[in-house]
Amino acid sequence: MNNLVQSPSIPLTLQDRQWVQRLVVQSGCQGEKLRRLIPNLLAVRAIAHWLDIYDIAYDWSSSYSTQPLLHLGEEVADLLLSGLGRLECRGISPQQQTVQFSPESWSDRLGYVVVEINADLTTGRLLGCVEQVSAAPLTKEMLQPPDFLFGLIAQAELQKAQSSVANTIENGLRTAASVIHQWLTTAQEQAWQMAEFYLLEPSFSPVRSANTIERIIDKLHSAGSEAARQRLIITLGEVVKPEDAASVVRELTQIIDQTGDEDTRWLAAGTLARIEPRHPQAAHRLQKTIGAELNLADTALNLLIALMPAPDQTINGSIELKTANQQQSLPPGTRLTLLSAENEFIDEIAVTGDQTPGKNLLKIGLTIDPGTNFRIRVTVGGESITEDIQL
């Protein structure tokens, strides 16, 4: 049981008692319900005074305890801590050894506080608190010290901060994803076509059973190399059925959030797009076949753009130039250049004449702000073509 040092005494003023009197009269409560309501409301006032000492904000107007008619049907005596949750308060007499909380207060509460109210209603002694209650009565010995309440408040503040960060990230992803989808629609009207992210073969082709997805996910968690993980991600995308979608989406988003390998992140986000195209973390890839404009005879080139939403509302981009036939090489001197909309140089990669064997892929990564326009230029010999991209 808490000792007197641990249980601070809190003066209850005439104003406190008048506030309680007005509420109980307006509530219309009588008999036993009225007998319990008065100390409970005084406990609310005592806790408010105690919180004032530590500059912990609360909201009278949104607390259930300030609504008179509510007390006719429910036994509630809460104090809403702004943005954190409700403290449910109970007042007991010095002789009372147990306290009961009614079912309507068993959930949606930050914590439960017990205050001992003296006989002349001029002092409340904060006995302690608990985080959860049930149908069983609480004895005084079961209460945590009053300082335990600071831990509950700190935990709620941390959860609030984490929720705020999560909401910011979610909003950022959705903003970026919306821009990507708008561009996908426009680009496909300009000869761009959807392209897969798969550069590897699936890890295996299992005979589907009730636990196929679980087995693949287990293998993912124990994979010994990044290449093995990537093949298993592809396998998930190949064998998933509608009934598996929720668990696979959950696994893929965890990989996107946690992996340190960029290729794995892109592959997971691209696989996610196959399952849930509108997911805010899905990556999309478009390609356009070029070559005739560059006088390459029988060599066809594919220009690819992949876009993936980022949590800060930006878009991660990947631009690739590759031969349509993987057995062919890009001509020496081929250049892939990234320019601003005003033709200012940003980045470039090229095939040099001394590269043996010849390269069949050029790739540039970039970070894009929504609303940014840029240009992609492909140059072979003395010929070049330019694609304008508007996001």
What pLDDT was estimated at residue 336?
93
Q: Is 303 exposed, middle or buried (0-12, 13-18, 19+ CB in 10 A)?
A: buried
Question: CATH 2.60.40.10 spans which residues of the chain?
Answer: 182-195+283-391
What pLDDT was estimated at residue 5?
43
Q: Do residues 268 and 248 touch, judged by C-beta distance below 8 A?
A: no
Q: From 10, 84, 72, 64, select the one nearest 42 (Cα to Cα).
A: 10
Q: How far apart are CA 35 and CA 263, in angstroms?
A: 68
Q: How far apart are CA 142 and CA 1, in angstroms?
A: 7
User: What average pLDDT score do residues 91-105 get?
Assistant: 93
User: What contacts 335, CB < 8 A, 6 or more positions away?
Assistant: 348, 349, 350, 351, 362, 377, 378, 379, 380
Q: How far apart are CA 232 and CA 301, in angstroms?
A: 29
Residue 293's pLDDT band (cuts 50, 70, 90): low
How many other CB atoms sit within 10 Å of the CB of residue 188? 12
Amino acid code (one letter) for 335: R
The region of weakest confidence among 100-114, 125-139, 325-339 is 325-339
What pLDDT was estimated at residue 50?
94
Q: How far apart are CA 249 and CA 271, in angstroms?
A: 9
CA dihedral 131, 136, 141, 146 (to 10 degrees): 20
What pLDDT was estimated at residue 240?
87
Q: Assess whether pLDDT exceeds 70 at residue 334.
A: yes
User: What average pLDDT score do residues 46-75 get?
Assistant: 92
Q: Assess whether pLDDT exceeds 70 at residue 209.
A: no
Q: Do residues 43 and 89 touch, judged by C-beta distance below 8 A?
A: yes
Most confident of 32-46, 212-226, 377-391: 32-46
Q: Assess whether pLDDT exceeds 60 at residue 313.
A: yes
What pLDDT was estimated at residue 201?
58
What pLDDT was estimated at residue 4?
40
What pLDDT was estimated at residue 208?
57
What pLDDT was estimated at residue 2?
44
What pLDDT was estimated at residue 1?
43
User: What average pLDDT score do residues 257-283 get?
Assistant: 92
The region of weakest confidence among 42-51, 138-147, 190-199, 250-259 is 190-199
Q: From 304, 317, 316, select the one nearest 361 (Cα to Cα).
A: 304
User: What average pLDDT score do residues 358-386 get?
Assistant: 87
Higher-confidence residue of 152 and 326: namely 152
What pLDDT was estimated at residue 126?
95
Residues paired with 321 in a beta bridge: 303, 362
Q: How far apart are CA 160 and CA 153, in angstroms?
A: 10
Q: Do residues 114 and 138 touch, judged by C-beta distance below 8 A?
A: yes
The region of weakest confidence among 92-106, 130-144, 253-267, 348-362 is 348-362
User: What average pLDDT score do residues 211-237 get?
Assistant: 89
127-178: pLDDT as tens digits: 999 999 988 899 999 999 999 999 999 998 888 888 887 788 888 888 889 9
Q: How far apart are CA 139 and CA 387, in angstroms?
A: 75
Q: Do residues 71 and 102 touch, judged by C-beta distance below 8 A?
A: no
Residue found under tokens 């010929």: 383
Q: Assess whether pLDDT exceeds 50 at residue 100.
A: yes
Structure tokens at 136: 């069983």
Q: Assess whether pLDDT exceeds 90 at residue 294.
A: no
Structure tokens at 385: 């073509």
Residue 299's pLDDT band (cuts 50, 70, 90): confident
CATH class label, 182-195+283-391: mainly beta
Q: How far apart are CA 108 and CA 121, in angstroms?
A: 29
Q: Is 117 exposed, middle or buried (0-12, 13-18, 19+ CB in 10 A)?
A: buried
User: What contacts 266, CB < 8 A, 6 or more positions away?
Assistant: 197, 283, 306, 308, 318
Where b means 16+ CB within 10 Å and e means fewer, 210-240 reads eebbeebbebbeebeeeeebbbbbbbbbbbb
